[in-house]
Chain A
Amino acid sequence: DGGITQSPKYLFRKEGQNVTLSCEQNLNHDAMYWYRQDPGQGLRLIYYSQIVNDFQKGDIAEGYSVSREKKESFPLTVTSAQKNPTAFYLCASRASGNYNEQFFGPGTRLTVL
């Protein structure tokens, strides 16, 4: 099956620990994205990558880091510098071209205790 996978579905961490969220896609998409969603809110863009070994900050990049060493993978690290890390994190990908929609993964719900 083609698609985007995020693991795990639920993640718990202690305050002060870094945590890395996984995002993998087998759609051969060039662009990948990370969004954050808080309860009752819309999505906010954290980071995006249009091509391997390149990525750009979104609207709320502080306290987060990413890497894009492979086309299929775009992991997100939530660092201890992120003041309110508890949220629902969504990964998306998009094929090259101007008219293509973003496909989203199932999300990871991170809770920092």
Chain B
Amino acid sequence: DAKTTQPTSMDCAEGRAANLPCNHSTISGNEYVYWYRQIHSQGPQYIIHGLKNNETNEMASLIITEDRKSSTLILPHATLRDTAVYYCIVRENFGNEKLTFGTGTRLTIIP
């Protein structure tokens, strides 16, 4: 699986959009970008995934650059409950059972 690089930590004001970047410059053509988050002492929670088109669901939006070397997870109206560690993962969608979690970005929502 391709390696990802994320900032160690970020702050965002409550009610504002939180934009979390991820670099994955070695991503291959059949690898997807996945985002999970982990609230303290809980199991990770799936957020969203995509291949090359932008994706949106009830939790977030995923913007993938045209060259697919980086992506941004957007939480449109951050709340205090969005404080968590956010993991960006790239992996093939078949023949590979492993999710390789790095250290992620610790997002703190400020009241």
Contact = CB atoms under 8 A, between A and B. Distances in A.
Interface of A: 4, 31, 33, 35, 40-45, 48, 50, 56, 58-59, 88, 90-92, 98-99, 101-107, 109
Given A40-B103, A92-B43, A101 B49 contact: yes
Contact of A107 (B41, B87, B98): B41
Interface residues of B, number: 19
Contacts of B100: 42
The 3 lowest CB-CB distance pairs between A and B, nearest first, are A104-B43, A42-B101, A101-B46
- The DSSP consensus for interface residues of chain B is loop
A98 B93 contact: yes
A42 B102 contact: yes
B97 A50 contact: yes
A53 B50 CA distance: 32
A83 B6 CA distance: 31
Interface in B29-54: 34, 41-46, 49
A45 B101 CA distance: 9
Contacts of B93: 98-99
A109 B41 CA distance: 9
A99 B44 CA distance: 18
A56 B41 CA distance: 27
B58 to A, nearest CB: 14
A4 B94 CA distance: 23
Given A48-B97, A98-B93, A99-B93, A107 B103 contact: no
Interface in B15-71: 34, 41-46, 49
Contacts of B104: 42
Given A42-B87, A101-B34, A58 B46 contact: no
Given A43-B44, A104-B44, A105-B43, 20 more contacts: A4-B43, A33-B97, A35-B101, A42-B101, A42-B103, A43-B99, A43-B101, A45-B98, A48-B98, A59-B98, A90-B44, A98-B93, A98-B94, A99-B49, A101-B49, A102-B46, A104-B43, A106-B42, A106-B43, A109-B41
A23 B49 CA distance: 26
Contacts of A107: 41-43
